[in-house]
Structure 1
Amino acid sequence: MITGKVLGVYASVGHLLPAEQAEWYRKAAGEWGIDTFEIPILAGVPLASEIVDVLIEVDASLVVTLVAQWATVGQKSPAYGLSSVEESFRQIAILDACAVAQQCQSLSERGIHIRHMVLHTGQRCGETISHAIAFYRSLVDLRQLVTDVMPDCRLAVEVTDSLPSNHPTPFPAAKKAALTLTSLIQTVTSVNQKNVSSYSIPLIVNWGRLLVNGTPPLSGIEQILMSDVHLAGVILSGAGASEDGFLDSHNSHLDPNSGFSTADAASCVTVLESSEEPIFLGMKCSNKKGDEQLLVAEVMAAQAELLNQIN
């Protein structure tokens, strides 16, 4: 069952000045009734004070994603990540995740509810079993560390594409994950069995990032729902079309070539409503439409309208 709406405002407004971005958060809460937001936080880079002030004002909740952290550092250091087979890079990724957790703790102390910290494997640089073992160790350690500083926050893991390293689409437009969805489910299941007294780590799906794999996103969602791992939420968006397949650029349903439509949203809702477990439904779309750039107001309004129609 669907139990909430989440909006990734930053994907549409991130190029604006902080004060202008803040106004879109205020509008989302005040006019569209959406007060839970997906937002990236990078290690050592605090959120702009203008945005923080508005999040406090509207009593916001956050789904904090660290995928941008892995993508940013990963462009310089491909071995970096929580599933890295090189221990030094895995430890650096853990330290960065802890730094983000400290920022989240500070936001929480100011009245902003941190619903999830969303983690990610990092790129493939070795064998599947080695990546799975490394990611398992990272999740076990971070679950306890985050629980110690933010008892109400839950770690989650985002599913991203797992195209092979020889695919022509370059990182970070593709090839983000070291583990396939099946391997990820197996790894997270093992983590959740490690300490049954703790909470179970769920998965979060980004529709557009599953499109990059070249497989129907709905089949991935159904695979998770039939597994032993809880699906905490789905973030809807499309992707960018190219000769080599889709690119991770979060194109909206306003782009007819994005691989995502209002009909896809309706199909997703039908599947999620069949589940007895609580699942949030969100959107995170950029202003891209092929080679064009849509207006911020157009994309933001379209996302809010669709979210409010399907929830």
Structure 2
Amino acid sequence: MTASPSSTPGSTPSYQSEYFQQSEADRVRILSEALPYIQQFNGRTVVIKYGGAAMKDTQLKATVIRDVVFMASVGIRPVVVHGGGPEINTWLAKLDIEPQFKDGLRVTDSDTMDVVEMVLVGRVNKELVSLINQAGGRAVGLCGKDGDLITAKPRPAEDGIGFVADVARIQPDLVSSLVAANYIPVISSVAGDGTSQAYNINADTVAGELAAALNAEKLILLTDTPGIMRDFKDPSTLIDRLDIHQARQLIADGTVAGGMIPKVTCCIKSLAQGVRAATILDGRMPHALLLEIFSDEGIGTMLVASSVI
């Protein structure tokens, strides 16, 4: 085999050298682009709602965990609120209990509530804590009952969704203390109402209320969709930015429907209570969190309180 004119025996061919130079240049560009965002978010709290496909796929789960640990390593204070719908459904199937949903919320009878608490608090939460710790972070697992963190407000019986609740109150002191000590709180959305009864609260709702209580800089919801789209079947109709008024209009006209309603609603409520920005993004995209926080363009749909600058 004849060496190329631009290379000599024992040397690196010029095309390889050019490739490595370009690769290194790309790394430098990415780091340079990330710097102002690292500075902006340093010491700020970011609440992440983790759920959907990013919890089912092993590789996606690994990238989310690495992203969370990376954020903590550069001075951001991540707080993770997680769902667990797919694993809940798996265990319900094992027990021959048919999952039911109404307006995007899980219908939760007594037997289903037992499974929800077992899966979210006993399995999913502890797995996430373990994975974050293995990746170099310092995670602490909590549910709404711990430290009286979340008080549940049971939904009216006529709603027909069983042991499902809204958030009556958040006491963020425990989470604030953990964050200040550089721990990563990992929170499941099971809470009590002051009695021994457990309630299932939508994890999006918990994330939004907690973001507001913590005066978070940003709320991020990882979902199985690119964001809010005018036509949910057409990703090209993605809306990259909305204010509260526009978001409410999309709910009213039916553009936002089904399981997206509680997501958008929790974003609206958190913004109204002082959270600076909320983003709904596609958790199926590897390193979606880093792309959203540390790049100029970001991804998904960002909601803000007002479009007026």
TM-score (norm 2): 0.37
TM-score (norm 1): 0.37
